[in-house]
Amino acid sequence: MAILFYDLCGRDPALRFSPYCWRARMALAHKGLSVETVPTPFTEIAKVENGASATVPVINDGRAIVRDSFEIALYLDRTYPDPPALFAGDAGVAACRLIESWAFTTIHPIIMRMMARDIHDALCDADQTYFRSSRETRFGRTLEEHQTGVEANTEALIKALEPPRHALASFDWLGGGMPGFADFIVFGSLMWLRSIAGAVPLAADDRVALWFARCLDLNGGLARGARRAEAA
């Protein structure tokens, strides 16, 4: 039986932009697991698996319902122990927790400044109302004030990506010789940007851009063909 995978979607159900859902989607594919995806708008999450979670991703593999991208990755390595692994033992999990927080505190605020309003525009009507209200409360200003655009924040993004760029000077993957959940964390953040803004604004010879292209090719090009939002 395919694993049910609840994935955040836009007004266009084929538009999947959540960084956390991309992390989980890549983790499922990495483990060779087939999924049946359920496109889920923000305002439908409460109905997922009888209210199992306030956020997506959520999976149901017939044995368990698991929520949160990191918890899903841990569950997959534990429940489906055949290689390839997502984590290199406890040391790998601890490092990935640090990287998860680094992406959330350093990369995500920059991406939000790039496209907070554009995310809104890609949502269905009910989600637009929810997103505007919740994010404007969080930001303390309107989406229009918060979004200064891709170009205005590109230099900050390039600079903020120095830690993975440094790691990629020694290895093809943040997981070392093989991709792992460390890759999918950072990849998910950048897929969020690609899905809404259309592209990741890095020089073609930037090690992060070269690695991102390798990630797009993983699992039969699963992410490369993903829908991108139409320009506003």
What residues make contact with its own copies under the rule CB under 8 A? 87-102, 105-106, 159, 162-167, 169-171, 173-178, 180, 182
- φ, ψ for residue 65, nearest 5 deg: -105, 125
Locate tokens 């930037």: which residue?
Answer: 206
CB of 92 to its own copies, least distance (A): 5
Q: Which is nearer to its own copies, 102 or 130 (CB)?
A: 102
Q: Which is nearer to its own copies, 9 or 161 (CB)?
A: 161
Q: Which is nearer to its own copies, 36 or 162 (CB)?
A: 162
CB of 24 to its own copies, least distance (A): 18
Q: Which is nearer to its own copies, 196 or 215 (CB)?
A: 215
CB of 6 to its own copies, least distance (A): 24
Residue 48's identity, in one-letter code, is: V
**Taking Cα atoms as reference points, which of 40, 10, 16 lies closest to residue 195?**
16
- Containing 169, the helix (H) or strand (E) segment is none
CB of 186 to its own copies, least distance (A): 9
Q: Which is nearer to its own copies, 2 or 98 (CB)?
A: 98
Lookup: tokens for 12: 């266009």
CB of 37 to its own copies, least distance (A): 28
Q: Which is nearer to its own copies, 91 or 231 (CB)?
A: 91
Residue 44's identity, in one-letter code, is: E
| Contacts of range 143-146, beta carbons closer than 8 Å, 24 or more positions apart | 143/116, 143/117, 144/117, 146/112, 146/113, 146/116, 146/117
Helix H segments across the chain? 19-30, 69-79, 89-102, 108-121, 125-139, 143-146, 150-160, 162-167, 181-197, 207-221
CB of 213 to its own copies, least distance (A): 18
